[in-house]
Amino acid sequence: MEDLRDDRDSWTSENCSVARAMDIVGSRSTVLIMREALLGTRRFDDFVRRVGVGEPAMAARLKEMVAAELLERIPYREPGQRTRHEYQLTRKGRELLPVITALRNWGDTWTAADTGPSIVATHHDCGEPIRAVLRCAAGHEIADGDIDIIAGPGLVRRD
Amino acid sequence: MEDLRDDRDSWTSENCSVARAMDIVGSRSTVLIMREALLGTRRFDDFVRRVGVGEPAMAARLKEMVAAELLERIPYREPGQRTRHEYQLTRKGRELLPVITALRNWGDTWTAADTGPSIVATHHDCGEPIRAVLRCAAGHEIADGDIDIIAGPGLVRRD
């Protein structure tokens, strides 16, 4: 089986899904808004307070995230108030949970030595902590050296 | 069991490992350099060509990544040449593999509809594709609603 790492200069970085994902979720404030949305935050004022970003910057960022279909803008109205909007995670947004979890796990290990983690995600049924780990579709646990890198349909080879 | 999402304003965003991780790996070029390093790239000229970042920007970024202990700068010398340096992943750097994999998976699903993925990571032993998935320490597969969020040692509560 050809492993693409053996001849890295025979293929280009075109159609790289890591780069495309970073184009959408590559900014610190986008990731922190996703963190809060995954914790249940939906309202503008709550995002501002909990993420620690000013109102104009938050408004601009949320607009981008709605355009990128990470969040959906939903009208709501409390009695006696005008109609306002809240931000609900789309499926595309919710599926960033493994990315945010992997980042949090790494941050817990490598950046939180002085304080320990602020929050811990645990399995509701058994109480054990949750991590983002590598598994293959057959269910095998994957260690560092167990990986082959093969061509997908979007691979662009050099002549 | 208290779930921290039930009263989000009773605790602050201090000591957030997601924010701390983003402070280190939050830029697009850092993530793309990590992608290449995880694919085996070690030399300056190869990083420049494969990531598509200019030499001065690459030199500055690699210096930051060495200071952040994601990469280690190692001298090497080819016959008849002067001593040069290459960049080797540290354990801290290698442990970003689940983050990069989760980003790539998400990008494959949500940004690669037109082309399909350029590369596929497969399990060497069985050939099945590899994903970053959520598991608890007892080995259970975690779905969206199975998660509790509880206090860690670094949690800062509001008075």
Residue of A nearest to B19 (CA): A32
pLDDT of A70 higher than 80? yes
State the first-to-last Cα distance of chain B, in angstroms, to the nearest integer: 21
CATH of the domain at A56: 1.10.10.10
Would you say residue B153 lies in a domain? no
pLDDT of A145 higher than 90? no
Tell me if B119 and A27 make a contact (CB, 8 A cut-off). no
Residue percentage of chain B with pLDDT more than 90: 94
How far apart CA B52 and CA A8 sit, in angstroms, is 14
Would you say residue A138 lies in a domain? yes
Q: Report CA dihedral (B7, B12, B18, B23) to the nearest 10 degrees.
A: 160
Would you say residue A154 lies in a domain? no
Each residue's pLDDT tens digit, B37-96: 999 999 999 999 999 999 999 999 999 999 999 999 999 999 999 999 999 999 999 999
Complex-level ipTM: 0.96
CB contacts < 8 A, A to B, total 330
- Extract the tokens encoding B48: 């420049």
B155 shares contact with chain A (CB less than 8 Å): yes
Q: Which domain holds residue B68?
A: 4-146
Would you say residue A112 lies in a domain? yes
Q: Is the separation of the CB atoms in A71 and A64 below 8 Å?
A: no
pLDDT tier for residue B123 given thresholds of 50, 70 and 90? very high
Tell me if A111 and B26 make a contact (CB, 8 A cut-off). no
pLDDT tier for residue A26 given thresholds of 50, 70 and 90? very high
Other CB atoms within 10 A of residue B39 CB: 14
Would you say residue B88 lies in a domain? yes
Would you say residue A5 lies in a domain? no
Distance (Å) from the alpha carbon of B84 to chain A's nearest alpha carbon: 21
User: Looking at residue A144, what is its pLDDT?
Assistant: 81
B158 shares contact with chain A (CB less than 8 Å): no
Would you say residue B155 lies in a domain? no
Number of structural domains, chain B? 1
pLDDT of B4 higher than 80? yes
Would you say residue A30 lies in a domain? yes
- Extract the tokens encoding A57: 């910057």
